Amino acid sequence: MPEKNNGAGKNPRSKGPRQLAAPKTNSDYGFPQLIDSFASLDSKKITEKLSKEPKREKKLTTELFQKKDEAKPQRKSRFLGQGKKGQKNAPKALEQPSEQEKEKPKKAPEKKKSNRSTSSKKQEPVKIIPLGGLGEIGKNMTLIEYKNDIVIIDCGLAFPEDEMLGIDLVIPDFTYVVKNRDKVRGIVITHGHEDHIGALSYLLKEVNAPVYSARLTIGLVEGKLKEAGILSDSKLNVIKAGDKVKLGCMMVEFINVNHSIPDSCALAIKTPVGTLIHTGDFKIDLTPVDGVMIDLARFGELGNKGVLALMSDSTNAERPGSTPSERNVGSTFETLFQRAGDRRIIIASFSSNIHRIQQIFDVAERYNRKVVVSGRSMENVVSIAKDMGYLKLKPDTMVEIDKARNLPDSDIVIITTGSQGEPMSALTRMAKGEHRKITVTQHDFIIISATPIPGNEKLVGKVINDLMQMGCEVIYEDTMGIHVSGHARRDEIKTIIGLTKPKFFIPVHGEFKHLAKNRELAVEMGIPYENIVVGDIGRVIELTSNSVKMQTSVPAGAVMVDGSGVGDVGSVVLKDRKALSEDGLVVATVVLNHKTGEILAGPEVVSRGFVYVKESGELLDGAKEVCRQAVNSAVGKGREYANIKLAIKEQLGSYFFSKTKRRPVIVSVVHDIKL
């Protein structure tokens, strides 16, 4: 019986019998048992049988192709070309080819492969454009762009560095966003910290796009926009974790995460190229204060469906293990309240750390203490969180500072700003003895429930020193358990990578050392090094389904806010301020006759911050003589007043450096009078 049917399925265009082997088992495709015998026959016997029983061969071969097509449709192109057309012509393929066909074999499979390759090359990439938050702490802002649609993630500020003299805030450069404002479909905010919402009021003045975020975040944003006078013109939309928002061709899903402020969310952004996940600031807290745990299940579901790229918080990527739960701080407060005894307790913390503030209220109520809130930002946040139900306390727990003056120290807790040593914060003013309503004494027990942000160590240290000199006991050591971070450590980041299984990995939020450590961590998790991108502000990351590259840039950087001025202070102004702060100022003034160029009055030389005038009379008299000589020399060459002013500046500069080895800022003023 097997010999009767050998050779069925022979394709005369094939180069050998290797492609004619039947499936490994009958059950795989449900073929008749006799088909198994085909694999044991050599090509010669198959040819003989085909010539003897073409009808039987044709029937069995048709069945073979049909069954294979049903079971493994991905193999159709290997045998039949494309789709139903290939099935229709399958029996015909077994006929003996003509001489012409032998000379020109069909190349359908190669052509199809070529088409797929061309299609891949033409795929439009999705662009990830960081405008802040990379290589720095704060100023977080990222654009997701696909063709004519842009979605903005966060819009935060940063605090000025030491050399940014007189600067109040630093915000991202919005040049690219303003230029492409017609493409902006919406702004999505991950949570309500200043480094994620602080610059939003400045952006909305330029680009009035709809804003989407959770309830508490929108409440905090409303306060900022009201202060900026643009609340009525803004389009604010409240969402909750699990909601999806359609923005152009992209779908943005909000996913609950744990952080040091309620309503924090990660984002899953479905684009035509693939799904992107942005973690925002996060940690995995198994015992959160509000009882709402991070939605790890949703991260896993997205990972099973396929994640193109994961953008992960890098702030604590250097630190091993997992971040402790926020509840641990509450236990520490219990211990410290007992230690304080009958002393007044003052606690400095971040104003936006509502979970921390909630625990302070809870412990204060257990110890029958009234709570005073001090500091403008602390008062604003506590008021909003209380009104919206995120802070739960008894009606009589919080009291005004004036009423607290009549209470004994043992009945009072003061929650204040100033945990970072900010010069104008409430705690700093207390340490300097400049607070209008609170005077610190040796009967105060002070807790600084935060760790210094990099760069603030000296400021915090000075506040602690000042308070201790007043006789206060100050608790500030991190080892006391008075602070836990709101950011994930290495094990938590690994968990998110393991759940989402991204093809590409992009570290975000942190200095370069944090981004580099997060890259190392991703490599440990099995992501190929070439699939990991450590970006830079302004560098465009282009992603397709199988490639990533950084080739182009957009305008980006830091825009400084000084008072009401935005961007009008640049490097030149800062350089002048630095020079003024280091070597002071000298102003030289002279009055000339318009007709003759003769000196009518002066020169006068005035110093500020350069030398002590009363002890430097000889130096300044010499400067006047140098100035007189410079004017006479310049007038003799022509009365171009720009040249006269330049001559005064250059010769005075040389004179002062030769005498003091310092270079003050010199301003020359020449008055011209017509007689």
pLDDT digits (tens, 9 = 90+) for 447-500: 999 988 777 788 899 999 999 999 999 998 766 789 999 999 999 999 999 999
Nearest to 541 by CA among 145, 154, 161: 145
How far is residue 290's CA from residue 538's CA, in Å, rounded to a whole number? 37
Residue 402 main-chain phi, psi, to 5 deg = -65, -35
Q: Is the pLDDT of residue 622 over 60?
A: yes
Handedness of CA 409, 413, 419, 423 (dihedral sign): negative
At residue 89, the pLDDT reads: 40
Helix (H) or strand (E) holding 558: strand 558-562
At residue 452, the pLDDT reads: 84
Residue type for 56, please? R
- Lowest mean pLDDT of 49-58, 129-138, 570-579, 664-673, name the range: 49-58
Query: Strands 585-593 and 665-673: what pairing?
Result: parallel
Do the Cβ atoms of 534 and 516 come closer than 8 Å?
yes
At residue 570, the pLDDT reads: 61
Count of Cβ atoms closer than 10 Å to residue 511 Cβ: 16
Q: Is the pLDDT of residue 177 over 80?
A: yes
Enter the tokens of residue 633: 């020399």
- Lowest mean pLDDT of 340-344, 347-351, 386-390, 659-663, name the range: 659-663
Model pTM?
0.73
How far is residue 612's CA from residue 618's CA, in Å, rounded to a whole number? 12
How far is residue 492's CA from residue 259's CA, in Å, rounded to a whole number? 13
User: What does the pLDDT look like over 10-47, one tens digit per residue?
Assistant: 443 444 444 434 434 333 433 334 334 433 444 444 44
The larger pLDDT score, comparing residue 105 to residue 632, is at 632
Nearest to 396 by CA among 379, 376, 372, 419: 372
At residue 271, the pLDDT reads: 96
Q: Is 44 strand, coil or helix? A: helix
Enter the tokens of residue 590: 């002279």
- Residues 579-616: b if buried by 16+ CB within 10 A, e if exposed: ebeebbbbebbbbbeeeebebeebbebebeebbeeeeb
At residue 212, the pLDDT reads: 97
Q: Which residue has the tokens 């000298």?
A: 586
Q: Is 185 strand, coil or helix? A: strand
What angle do the packed helices 296-305 and 490-500 form, to 10 degrees?
40
Nearest to 508 by CA among 127, 126, 135, 158: 135
Question: How confident is the model over 58-69, as a mean pLDDT?
Answer: 43
Handedness of CA 38, 40, 41, 43 (dihedral sign): positive
Residue 574 main-chain phi, psi, to 5 deg = -65, -35
The larger pLDDT score, comparing residue 659 to residue 286, is at 286
At residue 526, the pLDDT reads: 94
Highest mean pLDDT, choosing among 277-291, 580-594, 641-655: 277-291
Q: Which residue has the tokens 């001025």?
A: 565
How far is residue 154's CA from residue 330's CA, in Å, rounded to a whole number? 30
How far is residue 511's CA from residue 527's CA, in Å, rounded to a whole number? 22
Do the Cβ atoms of 178 and 209 come closer than 8 Å?
no
Q: Which residue has the tokens 């210094």?
A: 452
Q: Which residue has the tokens 């995120």?
A: 390
Q: Is the pLDDT of residue 387 over 60?
A: yes
Report residue 308 CA to chain centroid gap.
Answer: 18
Q: State the DSSP string of 437-470.
A: S----TTEEEEE-S-PPTT-HHHHHHHHHHHHHT
Count of Cβ atoms closer than 10 Å to residue 539 Cβ: 18
Q: Is the pLDDT of residue 82 over 70?
A: no
- Residues, the chain: 675
How far is residue 116's CA from residue 125's CA, in Å, rounded to a whole number? 16
Question: 42 burial class (0-12, 13-18, 19+ CB within 10 angstroms)?
Answer: exposed
The larger pLDDT score, comparing residue 573 to residue 154, is at 154
Cβ-proximal residues to 158 (8 Å cutoff; 6+ apart), any chain: 132, 136, 137, 138, 139, 169, 170, 171, 195, 558
Question: How confident is the model over 624-651, as a mean pLDDT?
Answer: 76
At residue 378, the pLDDT reads: 92
At residue 46, the pLDDT reads: 40
Q: Is 497 strand, coil or helix? A: helix
At residue 158, the pLDDT reads: 83
Rg (CA), the chain: 37
Residue type for 463, please? V
Neighbouring-strand partners of residue 153: 142, 188
Neighbouring-strand partners of residue 672: 592
Q: Is the pLDDT of residue 522 over 90?
A: yes
Residue type for 501, please? K
Question: How confident is the model over 71-89, as a mean pLDDT?
Answer: 38
List the strands of the sheet with 126-132, edge to edge.
Answer: 236-239, 211-214, 184-188, 149-153, 141-146, 126-132, 539-543, 548-553
pLDDT band at 120 (very low <50, low <70, confident <90, very high): very low
- Would you please indicate which residues are annotated as catalytic (active-site) residues? 313, 487
- Lowest mean pLDDT of 134-138, 262-266, 668-672, name the range: 668-672
At residue 563, the pLDDT reads: 63
How far is residue 335's CA from residue 639's CA, in Å, rounded to a whole number? 79
How far is residue 258's CA from residue 263's CA, in Å, rounded to a whole number? 8
How far is residue 665's CA from residue 303's CA, in Å, rounded to a whole number? 60
Do the Cβ atoms of 37 and 6 come closer than 8 Å?
yes
The larger pLDDT score, comparing residue 295 to residue 118, is at 295
At residue 76, the pLDDT reads: 38
Query: Strands 585-593 and 275-278: what pairing?
Result: unpaired
